[in-house]
């Protein structure tokens, strides 16, 4: 079959990115629901610097948000990579440069996000 | 192969072809919107450290507008759609419910709609004033 999941998902992007996207999807669903229920449901209308600090002080929310940050940055950039590969950036040289750029952006984003969160920790 | 068998064997058949295509298009669009939002969100939250508590609170005050709360709710909608359609994709990858893939899709959409209405109910007083 020309349009099986085999050709659409697995072979073009690689098996590890495919698996990584599934694993991070599960992590993101769990942690983003905690994140959304806290910020958009329980504490809606109370958003402030101090309110965020109070929420993160327990530690559990901080761990939740860091797991979410790491998983969602991977999931977002890997998803973007899938879209761009579908558009046809398939020459091996361009692909390799693109992968390196995505890894750099991802690592920098995670470091930046944790750095930003640490104002409430220290 | 009977008509019924052919219908379940071929995912891209009949009416489903249209719905399946739109589910995929919407999955891509919501994904791209959420990638963009992720980086905006990182920038906004980091202002608590970059510019200090006051600059973050100034931003929150700026966001406290009915239109922006509504757009925020649309982001929740994008997350819920992307999440529940993603659940469907993972279930299909695992081989769960392939024979009833349309029912699985609609159950996922129902869950997303119910969750969204809970968030919408909470946000309504901030949107409608």
Q: Return the C-alpha torsion angle A48, A49, A53, A55, nearest 10.
A: 20
pLDDT of residue A2: 45
Q: What is the pTM of this model?
A: 0.87
A-chain residue closest to B57, CA distance: A48
Over residues B107-123, mean pLDDT? 96
> From the CB of residue B66, how many other CB atoms can be counted at a distance below 10 Å?
12
The answer to whether the CB atoms of A44 and B12 lie below 8 A apart is no
pLDDT of residue A9: 43
pLDDT of residue B129: 75
Task: Please name the fold of domain B3-128.
Answer: 3 helical TM bundles of succinate and fumarate reductases (1.20.1300)
In this predicted structure, the answer to whether residue A3 has a pLDDT above a threshold of 80 is no
In angstroms, the separation between the Cα of residue B74 and the nearest Cα of chain A is 12
The answer to whether the CB atoms of A118 and B49 lie below 8 A apart is yes
A30-87 pLDDT per residue, tens: 999 999 999 888 888 788 999 999 999 989 999 999 999 999 999 999 999 999 988 8
Chain A residues with CB within 8 Å of chain B CB: 3, 5, 22, 25-26, 28-29, 32, 36, 40-41, 44-45, 47-50, 52, 72-73, 76-77, 79-80, 83, 109, 112-113, 115-120
d(CA A87, CA B98): 28
A84-101 pLDDT per residue, tens: 988 877 677 888 899 999
- Enumerate domains of chain A plus CATH numbers: 16-117 (1.20.1300)
Buried b (16+ CB within 10 A) or exposed e, B23-36: beeebeebbeebbe
Picking from B60, B122, B46, the residue whose alpha carbon sits closest to that of residue A119 is B46
B-chain residue closest to A36, CA distance: B76
């Amino acid at each position: 079959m020309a349009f099986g999941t085999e050709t659409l998902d697995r072979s073009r992007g690689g098996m590890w990115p495919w698996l990584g996207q599934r694993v991070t999807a599960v992590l993101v669903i769990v942690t983003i629901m905690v994140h959304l229920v806290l910020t958009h449901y329980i504490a809606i209308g109370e958003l402030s610097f101090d309110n965020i600090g109070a929420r993160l002080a327990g530690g559990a929310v901080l761990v939740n948000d860091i797991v979410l940050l790491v998983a969602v940055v991977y999931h977002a950039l890997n998803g973007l990579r899938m879209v761009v590969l579908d558009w046809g950036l398939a020459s091996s040289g361009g692909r390799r440069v693109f992968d390196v750029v995505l890894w750099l952006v991802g690592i920098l984003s995670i470091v930046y996000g944790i750095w930003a969160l640490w104002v409430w920790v220290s | 192969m009977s008509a019924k068998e052919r219908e379940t064997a071929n995912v891209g058949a009949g009416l489903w072809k249209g719905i399946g295509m739109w589910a995929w298009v919407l999955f891509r669009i919501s994904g791209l919107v959420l990638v963009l939002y992720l980086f905006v969100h990182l920038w906004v939250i980091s202002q608590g450290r970059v510019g200090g508590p006051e600059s973050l609170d100034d931003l929150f005050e700026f966001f406290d507008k009915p239109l922006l709360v509504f757009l925020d709710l649309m982001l929740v909608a994008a997350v819920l759609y992307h999440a529940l359609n993603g659940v469907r994709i993972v279930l299909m990858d695992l081989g769960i419910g392939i024979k009833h893939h349309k029912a699985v899709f609609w159950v996922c959409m129902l869950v997303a709609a119910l969750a969204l209405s809970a968030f919408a109910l909470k946000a309504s007083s901030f949107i409608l004033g």
